[in-house]
Amino acid sequence: MTCQQVRRQLLAWVEGELDESQWLSFVRHMETCELCRAEAQRWQRLVATLRAIAQSDGIPPVPNRLWSRLRTNRRRLPAAVSLFVTACVAFFLGWGVRGIATPLAPPKVSPAVRQGMDDGRREKARWQEGNHASTQRLRLSLFGETPLRVRLVIPSSVPKSVRPSPFTPSLPRYTPSLALRGATSVAFDIGQAQSFVPLSLPPRSLADLPTGEFALGNGEAVGQGEDASRFADEPFRIFVQVADPQGQVVRTVLIDRSEPNHVVAEWREIRQMQKPQTEVSDDALVSVDADAALPDRSDGGGAK
Amino acid sequence: MDERELVRRAKGGDEVAFEALVRRYWAKAYRLAESLVGSADAEDVVVEAFAQAWQALPRFREQASFGTWLFRIVLNQARQWRRKQMTAPVEPLETESEEGEELSLRDIEALACERDWRRRVQQAVHQLPEHLRLPLVLRFWDELSYSEIAEVLGIKESTARMRVASALKQLAAILAKMGVLP
C-alpha cells in the first residue's frame, strides 16, 4: 500500500471499516512509514476527542420555555378543516355549533340570561354565554352524560378575587383556593365521575372529578418553573383542551389576548378583572357588560 | 419506547411522546445548531426548531428517520437565524491560538489538560468552512451514518465521506497551526 492509498483509507481506518486484508496492508505500511503513522495517530486522536466532546457536558438542559411553547402552540388544524372537524365532533358528541362570527365580534348576552332563570338553566346559559366565539361560536351542552373532558391551563397573573372560575354541573364552581399563580393547570371532567389524567402534567394535578371542590396549592402550580413574567402583560391566558373518553383531543382552544383569533371561549368572571370583587355572584355573571369589560385586543396583534 | 412508536404517538398529538423525542434529540440538535450559530444562539434555534417540528409533525411521512428530518429543520432554522442576525457563525477564538504563536510554559501545561484540549478542538471545528463542518458534526457529534448525513444535507453518501475526511484533515491542520497538535 502506498502513502497515497493509506491517506485515502484513513477515514475508513478510524471508522473501523477496513476489512481484514485492507487492515493488514494498512498496518504494515504504518510500521514502515513514520509520516503516515503520525497522520493516522492525529486522526485517531481527533476522532476520539470529537466523540468525547459529544458525550461531555456543556449542553444546556431543555429549557422550560420550550415546554411552554409546545403547550401553547398545540397543533391547530387549518381553519376550514378545524371547523369541519368541530362540526362533526359537535354533532356526535352533542354540541351545537351556533355559527361563525367575525374574529373580533363582541360577545353577546342573550335576553334569556339577562332576565334570569332557574338555577339549572342559568348554569347552562352561563356556560353558553361564557363561551362566546371570535372564530366559532360553540354552545356546549353540559347536561346529560356528555363524555367530554376539559383541561385548562391558566398561566395568569390574575388576582385571586378575579380568577377564572369555570364550572360544571357537578362542580358548581372552583373555590378561591384554586386561585393559582403563574402557569397553572387545572383539569376537570364534565359529566363523568372518573378521574382525568391531564397530559404532561405532574401527579399533583390529578383530580378525581367531579368531587366538588378541589385545590391546587398556589406554590405548587404546574409550570412553576416557567417564566411567569412572560405573561405579565397578559391579563389572562387560558388553554382549554377537550378530549373524548379515549383521551383523544378533539378540540383545543387557546384564550389569549395576544392571539385574538384563538379566542373562542371566555368565562364571564375573567371580564371582571378590571373590577375585582371578592365574590362573584351569579347575577354579576349574567349582567356584566361584556363589551366594556373585555380586555383590549387591539394591542395583541390582528386576527390570523 | 421504540422511536417509531413515539413518533407515531406524537403525530397523533401525544405531547408526552413528543417530549420524549425532544429529550432524546435535544443534545444532538443543540450541537448541530451550535456548530452553525454558536453557543449564544444555539438554544434559541433549537427551541424554534422543536416548536416547528411539533407543528409540522403530522406532515412527516416517515420516509426518513425522525432524527434526519429533525436535523434538517434545525439546519434550516439555524440558517434562517443567521440570515436574520447577520452575524458570523463562528465564535471568536483566542488570538494567540489563531495566530499560532509560541505558547508559554503555562499554556503548554494548560493544554496538557484534556478539557482544554477539547476546547481547542471545538474552537477548531468552528473554524472549518460550513460545508466541511456540518458533515463532521453530524457524524461525530450527532452520530449519524454517512447515508443519513447525505440525506440531511442533500448530498451523495460518497460526498459526505469525502467531506468528513477533508474536515479531519483541515482540523488537524488548524490545530497544528494553533500549536496544540504536532
Q: What is the pLDDT of residues A130-148, one digit of tens each?
A: 333 222 222 222 222 333 3
More confident position, A177 or A14: A14
Q: A60 — phi, psi (to 5°)? A: -70, 155
In percent, how much of chain A has pLDDT > 70? 23
What's the pLDDT score for residue B86?
61
Q: Stretch B132-151: mean pLDDT, rounded?
A: 90
Nearest chain B residue to A72, by CA: B51
The whole-chain average pLDDT of chain B stands at 82
CA dihedral sign, ordered A165, A169, A175, A178: negative
- Cell 371561549 locates to A265
- pLDDT digit string (tens) for A16-34? 888 888 888 888 888 888 8
More confident position, B177 or A234: B177
Write the secondary structure of chain A as one string of H (helix), E (strand) and C (coil).
Answer: CCHHHHHHHHHHHHCCCCCHHHHHHHHHHHHHCHHHHHHHHHHHHHHHHHHHHHHCCCCCCCCHHHHHHHHHCCCCCCHHHHHHHHHHHHHHHCCEEEECCCCCCCCCCCHHHHHCCCHHHHHHHHHHHHCCCCCCEEECCCCCCCCEEEEEECCECCCHHHCCCCCCCCCCCCCHHHCCCECCEEEEEECCCCCECCCCCCHHHCECCCCCCCCCCHHHCCCCCCCHHHHCCCCCEEEEEEECCCCCEEEEEEEECCCHHHCCCCCHHHHHHHCCCCCCCHHHHHHCCHHHHCCCCHHHCCCC
> Any idea where the domains of chain B sit in the sequence?
3-85, 95-178
CA dihedral sign, ordered A208, A209, A213, A216: positive
Q: Stretch A253-264: mean pLDDT, rounded?
A: 34
Alpha-carbon Rg of chain B, whole angstroms? Answer: 18
Does the structure show a pLDDT above 90 at A80?
no
Q: Stretch B76-89: mean pLDDT, rounded?
A: 74
CA dihedral sign, ordered B123, B129, B135, B138: positive
DSSP-derived pairing of the beta strands A185-190 and A249-256: unpaired
What's the pLDDT score for residue A28?
85
Q: Which CATH class is domain B95-178?
A: mainly alpha
Q: Which residues of A touch B161 (CB under 8 A)?
A: 11
Residue A290 — very low, low, confident or very high, per pLDDT cuts 50/70/90? Answer: very low
Does the structure show a pLDDT above 90 at B168?
yes
Preceding amide of A210 cis, omega within 30? yes
Chain B residues with at least one Cβ partner in A under 8 Å:
12-16, 18-19, 22-23, 26-27, 30-31, 43, 46-47, 50-51, 54-55, 57-58, 117-118, 121-122, 125, 136, 140-143, 161, 164-165, 168, 171-172, 175, 181-182
Say which range, A166-175, B89-98, B106-115, has the weakest mean pLDDT: A166-175
CB atoms within 10 A of CB A43: 20
What's the pLDDT score for residue A50?
87
CB contact under 8 A, A200 and B51: no
Does the structure show a pLDDT above 60 at A99?
no
Q: What is the pTM of this model?
A: 0.47
What's the pLDDT score for residue B157?
93
More confident position, A79 or A18: A18
Does the structure show a pLDDT above 60 at B93?
no
Residue A156 — very low, low, confident or very high, per pLDDT cuts 50/70/90? Answer: very low
The whole-chain average pLDDT of chain A stands at 45
> Any idea where the domains of chain A sit in the sequence?
3-55, 64-300
Architecture of domain B3-85: Orthogonal Bundle (1.10)
Of A61, A63, A248, the CB nearest to B47: A63
Pairwise CA distance, residues B7 & B21, whole Å: 8
Does the structure show a pLDDT above 60 at A206?
no
